Chain A
């Protein structure tokens, strides 16, 4: 089995504060890896360091390595913009751009320099189908994306990420702003998507981690406490702290 992403002794600092401490994590290809833990444990920081979204935060410092397909994404010659094309991201709050549904999908290909209208329309259809949104919006692609429901917006954000053909999709608590039904739809979608993409999801919700993921990592205060196959973590946690967390004794 090959690893899509490997972090090696990854430290992340925000100014003086250390948010991640020597994290070593191997993310398997075409599987769903869930990162869970209480607020402020560093799970979102880790996610955002995988596609260098932390670069834009003032005072951030990264040490150690993040290997994507064997190459360090923090190596000096690597362009963060290129990394983000290979590693797509879906955010906690659905954040469609204040443009039409079509323009949201076309944005990624367009910034890459694609101009051909027919090709863009093809991409839009494919991406929306892949995100299970096509049937709901196919007649109103010109409508503002902001007019969609929260769940639809989040699937649009997934479709938009698929449009740039990433290898990995990072999801930062993608369902925390959604109702249970929309959550279910996204979880079902993830099962389909993992056949083609590697997915890393950060979640607050232990049931969600247990339901959707193949591997689970438990974070506490910047450290990766336990990392194993999901069934293993939830049935036979090796660390006392993991056990306390999943049995609801804190967090």
Chain B
């Protein structure tokens, strides 16, 4: 028998079921993606519904700039909390920023590949440690050390120290990525012009990566301002304006955590706590938008 040129081997007949599977699976993955968006919208809507009435009842100015929080007097002012969060966040930035740049430069530019790989895995493990464990270590190790400097040890500084360790992986990873994304030609140009390795890195690679590094910092700040448990365990939770890093303080997150069990359903107190949540979300939204814009500029 002479085989025709077109059928020199046999393929299965057209199977129509695979078109059905194609269609169904496309819908299934779309539905899953849609659900995650829906959940986000639902959470935001819920918090707004619960919290916005508090703004109206208390008054926006009174709420944001008041310095008293008393259930008896039904006074709900959160300025000390906002300040506590902002101080903790910027304090974290001041400590973690230089450390993460140093770590990232080491990983991207200095260390041998194998060492970098080991370190990078270690950093990833650091991300996975539950925040309550960070809190425990902070209580057991940091607080006693800080106590020697003065005060009880439970302080803004302790919170900042714990937060710095917690945001370091995020900031280091993104900083390293942006350093690696700098075109090789820049560094080669610097070296060919007689720059030392360090000069090439510090004067060319780092400035060329500055948008990405800034994004890393802002994302780290977003994490710091939202972190709750670990901070709660070491910051002392005193509702007051801290006057030194050794003073105890309270942040928006730790305030919500500390008060939520006492807040009666339907009370202004509970709604005020949701309102704190709204303020917190606005901060995080701002941080994330800035980071997003910066990272887009990199691309």
A58 within 8 Å of B by Cβ? yes
A contact set with B: CB distance below 8 Å: 51, 53, 56, 58, 81-82, 84-85, 88-89, 91, 93, 95-99, 107-108, 111-112, 157, 160-161, 163-164
Q: Residue A97 contacts which of B189, B194, B196, B199 (CB distance < 8 angstroms)?
A: B189
| Across-interface contacts of B186 in A (CB, < 8 A) | 95, 97-98
Interface size range on B against A: 10 to 19
Can you give 18 A-B contacts (C-beta < 8 A)? A53-B188, A53-B192, A56-B188, A85-B194, A91-B185, A91-B189, A95-B188, A97-B186, A97-B208, A98-B186, A98-B208, A99-B207, A108-B194, A108-B195, A111-B195, A111-B196, A157-B189, A164-B194
**Is B192 a contact partner of A97 (Cβ separation < 8 A)?**
no
* Shortest CB distance A2–B (Å): 24
- Please give me the 6 A-B residue pairs with the lowest Cβ-Cβ distance, nearest first: A95-B185, A85-B194, A108-B193, A89-B192, A111-B195, A95-B189
A93 to B203, CA, bound (A): 21
B113 within 8 Å of A by Cβ? yes
* Shortest CB distance B116–A (Å): 12
| Across-interface contacts of A96 in B (CB, < 8 A) | 189
* Shortest CB distance B183–A (Å): 7
| Across-interface contacts of A93 in B (CB, < 8 A) | 185
| Across-interface contacts of A56 in B (CB, < 8 A) | 188, 191
B interface majority secondary structure: helix
Contacts beyond the supplied A53-B191, A98-B207: 16 A-B pairs with Cβ under 8 Å: A88-B192, A91-B192, A95-B183, A95-B185, A95-B188, A95-B189, A96-B189, A97-B189, A98-B186, A107-B190, A107-B193, A108-B195, A111-B193, A111-B194, A163-B193, A164-B193
Bitwise interface map of B from 126 to 164 toward A, beta carbon under 8 Å scored 1, else 0:
000000000000000000000000000000000000000
| Across-interface contacts of A163 in B (CB, < 8 A) | 193
**Is B188 a contact partner of A111 (Cβ separation < 8 A)?**
no
B contact set with A: CB distance below 8 Å: 113, 183, 185-186, 188-196, 199, 203-204, 207-208
A176 to B186, CA, bound (A): 19
Beta-carbon nearest neighbor of A98 in chain B: B208
| Across-interface contacts of A89 in B (CB, < 8 A) | 192
A207 to B183, CA, bound (A): 31
A53 to B188, CA, bound (A): 8
A161 to B196, CA, bound (A): 16
Q: Residue B188 contacts which of A91, A98, A108 (CB distance < 8 angstroms)?
A: A91
Q: Residue A161 contacts which of B193, B195, B207 (CB distance < 8 angstroms)?
A: B193
| Across-interface contacts of A160 in B (CB, < 8 A) | 189, 193
* Shortest CB distance B286–A (Å): 28
* Shortest CB distance A23–B (Å): 21
**Is B192 a contact partner of A51 (Cβ separation < 8 A)?**
yes
* Shortest CB distance B111–A (Å): 12
* Shortest CB distance A217–B (Å): 22
